Amino acid sequence: MNPIQPEIDERYLNAPEEEIIAAIAARRGELGDRLLILCHHYQQEAVFRFADLTGDSLKLARLAAGRDNPWIIFCGVHFMAETADMLTGPGQKVILPDLRAGCPMADMATADEVEEAWEDLAAADPDAKIVPVTYVNSSAAVKNLVGRRGGSVCTSSNARQVLEWAFSQGDKVFFFPDEHLGRNTSLAMGIPEEKIVRWRRGEADGGNSAAALRRARVVLWDGYCTVHMQFQPAHVEYWRKKDPRIRIIVHPECRHEVVRLADDYGSTERIITAIEESPAGSHWAVGTEINLVKRLADLHPDKEVHSLSPFQCLCSTMYRIKPGYLLWAMDNIARGEEVNRITVDEETAKGARMALERMLEIS
């Protein structure tokens, strides 16, 4: 459970945005090298503009680990700030401007739930060696469990490499929390659908028969990204009819029915690179979070870049990091006061780092 966000002064919430932006800029200049601001690609533009470093969650944590700034504000969500805390030095403090900025997917798999499911799966197939793999979008507690069970973290860009490693270590992979990244990766590796089963949270043996669990090579936790689940096959069909020049690229957290119909799929970094490297005049429909899609459209006016969905596919928890909360965190730092610091206890961090280090060795 994430800590409770403290109340902040009304002036941070009600002042005109241009005043907040000006105050952030002034405070940023005052803090100088004492502060490093990290922004995930899905962050809103009013906050993203102040980033010292941008990227996906793991990239940002690793970049911060190579710096010596004593204060780090992570404009992302809770699990991202946890990873930054585990990888940075003891003299660095990681701040999350709004503690309500969590990740629904990460929250779908608690360490206790995963531990219980692990024991049930092992009992259903006692002769199999099971290797756990957790997506980086998971809590430090889940990463700790995976590290101590001999497993690895993965990202959306190296999931295949990690799964290939996992199969070299054992008979069966237990993949969580994102069912869709696990399914898309497994199918791309040629694993038959009948050997991929879904573990339904809260059901005995994940809602599967013992025979199905023994037969399975991949067991997928039934978690998902609330943003990427909004993209539908009908959206792909719409763009195919509307624009014969369209190229469709989606994130692998999308359901397989969407990934299968797309021209390409990949991590946020891969999506960014694909559009950057495409020729002028290219037409794109992109299946990922709307702030990134809008930013790509603004950065590449020589290309047509649209959201795959007609709806605003917004990461609502990431959106909680508003300019007022960023300024509030910065004002407290300027006063030498610590607010919203994210810390991971050393025992948990030790196991989680094992899982992260395995991933880095693999990829």
**What are the structural domains, with CATH classification, of the chain?**
10-102+317-345 (3.40.50.10800), 106-224 (3.40.50.10800), 228-307 (3.40.50.10800)
CB-based contact 31:330 (threshold 8 Å): yes
- And the tokens for 40? 């995930």
**Per-residue pLDDT in tens (0 to 9) along the chain, 363 residues:** 557 899 999 999 999 999 999 999 999 999 999 999 999 999 999 999 999 999 998 899 889 988 999 999 999 999 999 999 999 999 999 999 999 999 999 999 999 999 999 999 999 999 999 999 999 999 999 999 999 999 999 999 999 999 999 999 999 999 999 999 999 999 999 999 999 999 999 999 999 999 999 999 999 999 999 999 999 999 999 999 999 999 999 999 999 999 999 999 999 999 999 999 999 999 999 999 999 999 999 999 999 999 999 998 999 999 999 999 999 999 999 999 999 999 999 999 999 999 999 999 998
Could you tell me which residues are beta bridge partners of residue 246?
283
Which helix (H) or strand (E) covers residue 290, if one does? helix 290-299
Q: Which of 96, 19, 68 is nearest to 344 (CA)?
A: 96
CA distances from 344 to 138, 187, 225, 290, 332 (A): 13, 35, 24, 31, 21
CB-based contact 56:46 (threshold 8 Å): no
Q: How far apart (Å, rounded) are the C-alpha atoms in residues 136 and 302?
A: 34
Q: The pTM is what?
A: 0.95
CB-based contact 126:119 (threshold 8 Å): no
Q: How far apart (Å, rounded) are the C-alpha atoms in residues 235 and 285?
A: 9
CA angle 31-35-40, nearest 5°? Answer: 130
| Contact residues for 70 (Cβ-Cβ < 8 A; gap 6+) | 34, 91, 92, 93
CA distances from 280 to 62, 297, 307 (A): 33, 12, 18
Site of tokens 């997928």: 220
- And the tokens for 35? 């502060």
Q: How far apart (Å, rounded) are the C-alpha atoms in residues 327 and 340?
A: 13
Q: How far apart (Å, rounded) are the C-alpha atoms in residues 305 and 18?
A: 28
Q: Which of 91, 354, 166 is nearest to 175 (CA)?
A: 166
Question: What are the φ/ψ torsions at residue 255 (nearest 5 degrees)?
Answer: -60, 155
- And the tokens for 229? 């689940």
User: Is the bond preceding 177 in cis, omega lying within 30 degrees of 0?
Assistant: yes
Which helix (H) or strand (E) covers residue 286, if one does? strand 283-287
HSE of 240, CA atoms in CB hemisphere, 13 A: 10
Hey, what's the torsion of the CAs at 98, 99, 102, 106, to 10 degrees?
150
